[in-house]
Amino acid sequence: MTRLPRITGRQLITKLERRGFEVARIRGSHYLLKHPDGRMTVVPAHGKEIIGPGLLLKILRDAELDRGDLG
């Protein structure tokens, strides 16, 4: 099993956008991303703060992606 990368919220948003997700709305520092097939997730972008492993796994589950998709 691959290790989870240390990634910021802004970097994660960019990676999700490359996989077809679009920012639907922003409320404060939380970005709601939607995919045309109906998948959606919320990503916090708090400056340069690293997203914790538990939250990152939750976001990947919501987006129906696996760890290897972030590489």
pLDDT of residue 1: 63
Structure tokens at 37: 């097939």
Q: CA-CA distance, 5 to 71, in Å (whole number)?
A: 8
Domains of the chain, by residue range, sit at 16-65
pLDDT of residue 57: 95
Tell me the pLDDT band of 69, cut-offs 50, 70 and 90: confident
Cβ-based neighbour number of residue 49 at 10 Å: 12
CA 64 to centroid of chain Cα atoms: 11
Are 13 and 43 contacting, i.e. CB atoms less than 8 angstroms apart?
yes
Which CATH number applies to 16-65: 3.40.50.620, 1.10.274.10, 3.90.1480.20, 3.30.920.30?
3.30.920.30
Backbone angles phi, psi at 63, to 5 degrees: -85, -5
Mean pLDDT of 12-33: 97
Vertex 63: Cα angle to 23 and 3 (nearest 5): 115
pLDDT tens sequence across 25-60: 999 999 999 999 999 999 999 999 999 999 999 999
Q: Is a pLDDT exceeding 90 seen at residue 71?
A: no
